[in-house]
Structures are given as structure tokens and as C-alpha cells.
Amino acid sequence: MIDFRSDTVTKPTATMRKAAYEAEVGDDVYKEDPSVNKLEEIAAEMLGKEGALFVTSGTQGNQIAALTHCKPGDEVIMEANAHVYVYEAGAFSALAGVQPRPIPGVRGAMDPFEVASAIRADDIHFPETSLICLENTHNKAGGAVIPIDNMKAIYEIANSNRIPVHLDGARLFNAAVASGKSVKDFASYADTVQFCLSKGLGAPVGSIIAGPSEFIQKARKWRKRLGGGLRQSGMIAAPGLVALQNNVDRLVEDHDNAKILANGLGNINGITIVNEVETNIVIVDVSGTGYNAEQFVEELRKKEILVGGYSSETVRFVTHYDVNVTQVKQAIEKIDNLIN
Ligand SMILES: Cc1ncc(COP(=O)(O)O)c(C=O)c1O
């Protein structure tokens, strides 16, 4: 199978498995797991933040951020196709009790002027705007890199209104590698950051949230409340550290493969590439092939290619380290044979 469904499908490398096996561990609820402590220190340093916390998933990281920054009844500004709005099962409302304020963006980027206009005035009738969420890269915008200047402009507006900014950086390392900027550059325009170890970086489990020490201290309690105090979690933090140390620079291969895939698929009659491919996601409109998205996914499965249905007419391909360039080319050829 050539599996393009997501960059979450990668299997841990031999080095990661060895790191898990050999990990020095302790009880992380007592802050006594050396492997977790090391991962958190290195992650905080990479992001230029005072502290970091190892959490079970990107969703848990984003939810802990909302729970820590906000109180029930508050409003959170986010892009209308943000992962936290579309794909986290309404958790902001269900868990933090906050109301989302979606702002439609262009390729995932909100207009700073619209963000400023959406901030609530101090009025007894209104919810309080207590958080602005950004996402980089933007998943639903096809892995688009949100320009750093856009983040800066929104961060300045947030600062002048004393509203914290949380960055859902599930794929922040993809944004950094694609733009030639560092994750620290991007993180400098957010108070708190979540990034996933288990997407393009290839670790089996886990995410990091990073921010000021005081925030991390409160977040640690929320993590405990949510059942995320994982005891000897060095077993899963150790592969996460390997991911950070070994798998960042190679993301460029995934981006190159996504471009090769987009070029190849774009040359097939009836297929249109929907997004400008900047990182590792390719969204393809298949309506000209005679198949709808569901049928297309099924036909590809028969040819041992797995892709994700995205809408009734579009499907999504994601490149990652378990798909190499030869497999990308094989996939293009098989799809060409299917359509023509
Ligand atoms: C932008 C973004 N944020 C958050 C998440 C959630 O991560 P997890 O699946 O680890 O909960 C994802 C997962 O795809 C994502 O793409």
C-alpha cells in the first residue's frame, strides 16, 4: 500500500523504537521522568519559550491552551476553516465552554483588520474575547504557510488589546522548512504554541505545548484534569526527541515529493490541483475523471493507493517519510492508467 491519507500514518523508525526501549523513565506526574523533562526543555528552547509540556495529542494541546487561557462564556477568534473549529469535535465549546468566532481567511490567513474588528468591546451584552488562534501550516488550506508578517500583524493587534495568541502549529516545522524561517521566528508571534511530534516528524505519539512558565504551570494542572498525567511517559517522549533531532530537515523531501505528485497528477486529464502546494499536502479535484471523490478513493484502494476523501469532489494526498519518491511516481502512473 502507498498510504497518502495523512502524515499521521508513519510508523516509528528503528531509532525511535530503540530510544523507547532504552528510555530512562520516572513518574512524570512528579516531574521525575528524565526523558520527558529533556524533550520539554529542548522543545521550549527550539520555540524560544520559557517552558513546554508533553501532551498526548495536538487536540489535547489545543484544548489545554483554551482551558488555560479562557473561562466559560469567553469568545475565541479563529479562522473559519481552522482545525480547532472544524475537526476537534466542538471541544472548545464542550470543554472550555468558549464560543468560537470564525473569520473566513484567504489560504488560511485572516485579515488583521477583520481580526481587530472582531474583538469585542467592553459591554455587558458581549462575551469577552480572550484568545486568538492561528494555525500554521493551515491544514484545510492545503498545508499553506501563513506568512510571518500576517502573524506579526495579528499578534500586534492582540497585544495592544491584551489578548493572548495561541498558535496551532501541528505542522509548524513544515512551515519553517518551507519558508526558510525558524520555528522560533513563527513562535515569536504567539504567546503559546502547540506542535505535533506525530505528524511529519514521525513520532508515534504526542505533541508539545510551549509558552510562559506561568502558563505551563497552569496547563500542567489542566493536563492532569484531562487524564493526561501519563507516569512513565518517557517511553513515548524518547521517540519524540528522536523525531525532533532527526526528522526536521528531511521534511523538505516530503515537500519536494508533494510537488512531484502535484505536477504528475495535474497532467492527467480530468484532474485539477486545487491548492498551491507549499508543503506536504495536495488537494485534488477529481470531478473531471468521471468518478466522485468516494468512488475515486475506492478505485485507488483497489490499486493499493490510499488517499483521503476531502469533499464530494476532492481528495487529499499527504506526503511523509513512509512514502518515497519512487512510490510517488508509481502512484502517478497507476492513477494515469486508471483515468486514461
Ligand atoms: C492543524 C492541526 N491541528 C491539530 C491537529 C490535531 O492533532 P491530533 O490528531 O494529534 O489530535 C491536527 C491533526 O491533523 C491538525 O492538522
Q: What is the pLDDT along the chain (340 residues), one digit of tens a residue?
A: 999 999 999 999 999 999 999 999 999 999 999 999 999 999 999 999 999 999 999 999 999 999 999 999 999 999 999 999 999 999 999 999 999 999 999 999 999 999 999 999 999 999 999 999 999 999 999 999 999 999 999 999 999 999 999 999 999 999 999 999 999 999 999 999 999 999 999 999 999 999 999 999 999 999 999 999 999 999 999 999 999 999 999 999 999 999 999 999 999 999 999 999 999 999 999 999 999 999 999 999 999 999 999 999 999 999 999 999 999 999 999 999 999 8
> Nearest to residue 21, comparing CAs of 235, 231, 237, 233?
235
Calpha distance 156→175 (Å, rounded): 21
What is the spatial distance between Cα 80 and Cα 105, in angstroms, rounded to a whole number? 7
Neighbours of 48 (CB within 10 A): 15
- The ligand 1 atom at the shortest distance from the C-alpha of residue 198 is 10
Whether residue 302 contacts residue 331, with contact meaning beta carbons closer than 8 Å, is answered with no
57 lines ligand 1 (CB under 6 A): yes
Q: How far apart are CA 285 and CA 314, in angstroms?
A: 4
22: alpha, beta or left, given left = phi > 0 and alpha = psi -120 to 50? Answer: alpha
Answer whether 260's CB lies under 8 Å from 325's CB.
yes
- Name the closest-CA residue to atom 6, ligand 1: 58
Mutate to test the pocket of ligand 1, among 64, 79, 83 (most ligand atoms within 8 A of CB): 83
Q: Residue 326's CB: how many other CB atoms inside 10 A?
A: 9
Is residue 135 in contact with ligand 1, taking CB distance under 6 Å?
A: yes
Rounded to whole angstroms, the Cα distance separating 38 from 124 reads 46
pLDDT of residue 340: 86
Pocket test for ligand 1, best of 81, 88, 134, 139 (most atoms within 8 A of CB): 139
Measure the CA–CA gap between 324 and 126, rounded to whole angstroms. Answer: 52
Would you state the pLDDT for residue 37?
A: 98
Q: What is the pTM of this model?
A: 0.98
**Rounded to an integer, what distance in angstroms lies between the CA atom of residue 120 and that of residue 101?**
10
SS3 253: helix
d(CA 317, CA 211): 32
Tell how far CA 106 is from the center of its chain. 18
Any ligand 1 atom below 6 A from CB of 79: no
Domains of the chain: 10-246 (3.40.640.10), 250-339 (3.90.1150.10)
User: Is there an atom of ligand 1 within 6 Å of 179 CB?
Assistant: no
